Amino acid sequence: MSSMATRRPRIETSFDIRKSSSSPLLEKLDHRDWLAPNEAMKIFKTLKNADQVLVALKKISSRNDYKPNESLFSLIVDRLARERRIDDIEDVLQTVKYTKIKVSDSFFSNLIKIYINVANHPEKAIQVLFRMSEFHCCPTIDTFNLVLNMLLFAANITRSSMRCI
């Protein structure tokens, strides 16, 4: 294997995977049976916290019989955003890139909204816009408008806070 080969990104978790595997749904990911996309979605929808979601993603990413899709990754990103696990979202984005699945503009629009509204990181939102080409996805007018509106809103807030001084 050459040093230029793509390496599978590591998904770090902040707890012991063996202890969290006690969930029967997580154990289902360890079975050698074929896993249908709807079964995977059902498992991820019922997981209770972001740590379990990351463990499940690690397990499902190591399977040879299942390739995650955009809807699964969207569900994972939304769950992580809900718990404000923004750094973990970057790891998931690396997994999306590694698995080479095709993700749509709406996936990135959602990600941009998360960085703007949930994380309050407008610079990361702009980085996502520029990184879309790495995933073979072209931004649409709506995506550009989303980022432009965010920049205008930030400029208005800056201007109004300067008036108060």
Domain map of the chain by residue range? Answer: 1-101, 104-165
* Residues 155, 20: Cα–Cα separation, whole Å: 45
Model confidence pLDDT, tens digit, residues 37-89: 788 888 888 888 898 889 888 888 877 777 888 999 999 999 999 999 999 99
* One-letter amino acid for residue 134 of the chain: E
What is the C-alpha separation between 148 and 4, in angstroms, rounded?
37
Question: Are the C-beta atoms of 57 and 74 separated by less than 8 Å?
Answer: no
CA angle (85, 91, 97) in 5-degree steps: 140
23-32 residues labelled b (16+ CB within 10 A) or e (exposed): bebbebbeee
Per-chain mean pLDDT for the chain = 79
Confidence of residue 120 (pLDDT cuts 50, 70, 90): confident
Give 99 or 156, the one with higher predicted confidence: 99
